Structure 1
Amino acid sequence: MRKLIEQILKFGVVGIIAFLIDWGILNLLVGLFHMNNVIAGTISFLISLVFNYLASMKYVFKHRPDMARWMEILIFFVSAVIGLLINMLILWLSTYGMSPNAAVTQHGEYLLRTNGGKLIATVIVSIWNFIIRKWLLDDTHTNAMNKLHRKGNELSEEELEAKWEKSFAHRLGMWSIEHTPKGWD
């Protein structure tokens, strides 16, 4: 439990920094350049995503030895695209009903509603990202085995291993290793 809380805190720090990058660029594009909030939100989201991937895989989630890097990157970016779609939908809804040129004519209200939508989207997308990345990308198996060796657990090592081998995350990881193109590491 302590490891999970520690991981959530690290995820939170990385997420806050990624949010500041995302939010700063969004406000720069909407506030200064009067760009449409969905387009600006997409640009800012994609830029912060690069930071988020690098920092998450270095500080938050441990690489799984049973998964190829290309699959890790694919899962990260597919989940991010789903997060981007959620983000875009919420940003669009935040200014729904305003005139098409509200970014210029009702600038203050447009910016306020955009920022409110961005905060809501950030919370929802953060929860989505943590759950999907924890499930598919994190090396929870090694952590569970280490915990088993440190102190007693309700499952034996054989039972834990059997449960892991049947899991979708492990099967996906093994499939990715078996289907890694020659020359890719």
Structure 2
Amino acid sequence: MGARAMWPQGLGPFLDLFKYGLSSALALAIDYGLLIVLTERVGLHYAASAAIGFCAGVLVTYTLSVTFVFKQRRVLSTRLEFAGFLAIGVLGLGINQALLWALVTYSPLPYSLAKAPTAVVVFLFNFAVRRALLFPAVA
């Protein structure tokens, strides 16, 4: 019996959200790790470090999304699917950079703590848009 079959009818999207959350947690660990290492150890500006970390996280999330999270795919071409996934990721990156900048500039939060609320907003945005456009719900 598959994991989806154990959930009552209609709760499959919540299982997807849970699995996407696990995948995103791993991606966030890589993203945040690169943000800190590249800023503190390498000396890059936090905005550049954030962009590099975010892009690494997108690659991890895509790989896990197509192998672990979503069982049905709307786009048959892997290239087109990845392009769509990446385009959504670029929008997420824009949200990430804007929120991170706003929190660092207009709140007392340092960049390392400002990443937390930013990550929550971007996670919800990415899941909702990717689910709607690339990975339809399975009944």
TM-score range (shorter-chain normalised) is 0.7 to 0.9
Deviation at 1:2, TM superposition (A): 2.2
Instruction: Tell me by how many angstroms 1:33 deviates.
Output: 2.6
Residues 94 and 116 in structure 1, CA contact (< 8 A), matched pair in contact too: no
**Are the structure 2 counterparts of residues 135 and 31 from structure 1 closer, same or farther at C-alpha, using a change threshold of 3 Å?**
same
SS in structure 2 of the partner of residue 48 of structure 1 = helix
Q: Note closer, same or farther for the CA distance 1:18–1:137 as it changes in structure 2 (3 Å cut).
A: same
TM-score (norm 2): 0.83
Q: How do 1:41-60 and structure 2 match up within 5 A?
A: 41-60=50-69
RMSD: 2.0
CA contact (8 A) 2:75 2:134 kept: no
What is the correspondence of 1:49-128 to structure 2 with a 5 Å cutoff?
A: 49-64=58-73, 67-96=76-105, 113-128=110-125
Query: Are 1:5 and 2:2 matched, yes or no?
Result: no
Paired with 1:64 and 1:92, the residues of 2 have a C-alpha distance of 34
Tell me: CA distance 1:35–1:49, structure 2 relative to 1, closer, same or farther (3 Å).
same
Provide the C-alpha distance between the structure 1 equivalents of 2:38 and 2:77, rounded to a whole number of angstroms.
37
Task: Label 1:88 to 1:65 Cα distance change in 2 as closer, same or farther (>3 A).
Answer: closer
Bigger radius of gyration: 1
Change (3 A) 1:135 1:65: closer
User: 1:62 and 1:71 mapped to 2: Cα distance?
Assistant: 17
Alpha-carbon separation, structure 2, partners of 1:54 and 1:92? 28
Match of 1:22 in 2: 31
How far apart, CA to CA, are the structure 2 residues paired with 1:25 and 1:117?
Answer: 15
Question: 2: distance between equivalents of 1:91 and 1:130?
Answer: 19
Secondary structure at 1:96's aligned position in 2? helix
Letter paired with 1:57 = V
1:139 counterpart = 2:136: yes
Equivalent residue for 1:178? none
Cα displacement (A) at 1:65: 6.1
CA displacement, residues 82-135 of structure 1 (integer Å, 9 cap, x when unaligned) = 0011111122223227xxxxxxxxxxx8xx610222111110110011101111
**Contact in 1 for aligned 2:92/2:125 (Cα 8 Å):** yes
Number of aligned residue pairs: give it.
130
Deviating 4+ runs (over 6 angstroms): none
User: Deviation at 1:61?
Assistant: 1.4
Percent identical among aligned pairs is 27
| 2:74–2:133 contact (8 Å) kept in structure 1 | no
